[in-house]
Amino acid sequence: MDVTPPPGHRLDGYAARTATAAGTADPLRATLIWLSTANDPGVLWLTLDAIAVGAELTAELSAAAGRAAGIPAAHVVVSASHTHSGPSGWTGQIHPVIPAEREADLYEPLISAVANAVLDREAVVASWRSVEVTGVGTNRHRADGPHDNTAGVLALHSPAGSLRAVLLDFACHPTTYGPENLLYSADWPGAARAALGPAVVGYLQGAAGDVSPRFTRQGRGAAEITRLGELLASRVREALAGPGLELPQVAPTIRRTTVRLPVRSLPATEDAAAIVRASERAIHGGVEDPSARIAQTRLDGARGQARMAAVELPVELELPVSVVTLGDVCWVNLPVELFALHGAVLQERSSYPITRVVGYTDGYFGYVVDPAAAEAGVYEALITYFDQPTTDQLLTETATFVNS
């Protein structure tokens, strides 16, 4: 469904962006893919072109989708694509770095559209493929850094063989458009969806906390969005042209738990301010030079950390975690921006032959960074809620739950 808001509302994703949306470059969509049997509600995936889905919006959309399908809300998984060209008013403030408010005239029409969605049930055959994709994204701190460059493809074909729907997961920030952009856009995931049509395509964002097109993009406009989206779609089409792994014709299952994590100790206000001043001195070069962009993001992180140090944060946070399984395939859903290294750890610790790690799902609690990022003091490490022992706790408890 096209759920693009009218212009005049604040866009989310960049602290440097100050003006409101002036129009639409390409539509923002809410996509529903419901896989069930006559006797089992299965799982309904709701994917949204948004920076994040906070806890409140997740609850509202889960209830709305559940009403549309006639199933319990607990069987609905809500995931954001993490586009940086969507409205902030759907979810409101996701982090002290970028203040925002929920806007009823934005989220109420979105929830209504989902609640009134017409879901046509039809028989499908489920199969699985994965394919390597190069050239869309890399580790954004160093081009040779950790990055899962595989796309996971759940394909749903009609019994006659026509492609009806695709649930696609891939890990890379949708940040082709920069802070200067004032147009709503799904960024390259939207272009990939369009290229894979007319099938319904739901997009799940992977462990993309430190992955982006920073080293691969050749521009920041609509043409580059199309190029990156087509690149991903072409690899998916190649995978779909060949045989896939046939999955059991049963409803997928979903299990849920929560993980309680302590919030890290932040620097004193004066120390946080000193880090900001040091980051300001490190700025150099043009904004499209990758090293200069890294320096700018570190400054953004230092300023964000200073804002965090100036407000009262909770002592701990409760993170919802869910696991969806279908045969040998397992999707681990987390409400964070997980670094690529941690995604690989969860895959390694999983007992399932195929494990896909999905972030930005059923809530939002910011970045979870790896030890190298914490030591280097990069942007994500400066604004994370969690320290390394807490990160280890999240990975351990999640892996234990996956295998339980």
Give the pLDDT confidence of 298-331 residue by residue, as tens digits. Answer: 777 778 888 888 888 999 999 999 999 999 999 9
Considering the chain, what percentage of its residues have pLDDT values greater than 90? 82
Q: What are phi and psi of 83, to 5 degrees?
A: -60, 140
Lookup: tokens for 349: 């610790």
**Does residue 287 have a pLDDT over 70?**
no
Segment among 9-18, 35-44, 320-329 with least mean pLDDT: 9-18
pLDDT of residue 212: 97
**C-alpha atoms less than 13 angstroms from C-alpha of 359 in its C-beta half-sphere:** 28
Higher pLDDT, 284 or 103: 103
H runs (alpha helix) in 310-366: 340-349
Domain boundaries of the chain, sorted by first residue:
1-256+320-404, 267-312
Place of tokens 């809410």: 30
pLDDT of residue 275: 72
Give the pLDDT confidence of 333-374 residue by residue, as tens digits. Answer: 999 999 999 999 999 999 999 999 999 999 999 999 999 999
**Does residue 293 have a pLDDT over 80?**
no
Give the pLDDT confidence of 189-208 residue by residue, as tens digits. Answer: 999 999 999 999 999 999 99
- How many C-beta atoms surround the C-beta of residue 305 within 10 A? 26
Considering the chain, what percentage of its residues have pLDDT values greater than 70? 98
CA 270 from chain centre, in angstroms, equals 34
Q: What are phi and psi of 155, to 5 degrees?
A: -105, 135
**Does residue 18 have a pLDDT over 90?**
no
SS3 category, 323: strand
**Does residue 126 have a pLDDT over 70?**
yes
pLDDT of residue 247: 98
Crossing angle of helices 187-196/222-241, nearest 10°?
A: 40
Higher pLDDT, 57 or 141: 57
Q: What's the whole-number average pLDDT of the chain?
A: 94
Lookup: tokens for 318: 């409760």
Q: What confidence tier does 180 reach under pLDDT thresholds 50, 70, 90?
A: very high
**Does residue 30 have a pLDDT over 60?**
yes
In 105-173, where do the E strands start and end?
Answer: 125-132, 138-139, 150-157, 163-170
- How many C-beta atoms surround the C-beta of residue 71 within 10 A? 19
Give the pLDDT confidence of 250-271 residue by residue, as tens digits. Answer: 999 999 999 999 999 887 777 7
Rounded to whole angstroms, how far apart are CA atoms 277 and 84? 27
How would you label 268-295 residue by residue, b for 16+ Cβ within 10 Å and e otherwise? eeeebbebbeebeeeeeeeeeeeeebbb
The distance in angstroms from the start CA to the end CA of the chain is 36
Give the pLDDT confidence of 51-110 residue by residue, as tens digits. Answer: 999 999 999 999 999 999 999 999 999 999 999 999 999 999 988 888 899 999 999 999
